[in-house]
Amino acid sequence: MAIVDVWDIESIPTDSRQTYSRYGDGADGYVSVTGCAGPEAYDWLFDDEAETVEVEVTQSELDPELRTYTFRADFPSYDTERGATTLAGSFDAR
């Protein structure tokens, strides 16, 4: 499960790509992703915020009044054998 938190989403220009840091000051907006994983809902073995989130904004192909937000979230490495964990997804919004 992932929770995507975006402040001032309208300020991200269409046809642009921006990267947000977990430790950023929010001056250029704010995007964070919290990832949760475990054997069942609310029994999380992993529950942490991504170190960085890259967001690409494009015009939605399904609805001209919407924009598509495609994100890639990179989480800290807790398992040195596997390395860092990445979560990717997209959603449409105004």
pLDDT digits (tens, 9 = 90+) for 48-75: 889 999 999 999 999 999 999 999 999 8
Q: Name the residue range of residue 14's domain.
A: 2-93
Q: What is the domain count for the chain?
A: 1
Per-residue confidence (pLDDT) for residue 36, from 0 to 100: 83
Evaluate if residue 9 carries a pLDDT over 90.
no
| CA gap 55, 17 in Å, rounded | 6
Q: Could you tell me if 37 and 1 are in contact, meaning their C-beta atoms sit under 8 angstroms apart?
A: yes
Each residue's pLDDT tens digit, 30-45 = 788 888 888 888 888 8
Q: How far is CA 77 from CA 34, 48, 88, in A?
A: 14, 11, 16
Interacting residues of 59 by C-beta distance below 8 A, sequence separation 6+ = 14, 15, 67, 68
In terms of residues, how long is the chain?
A: 94
Structure tokens given for 94: 């105004």
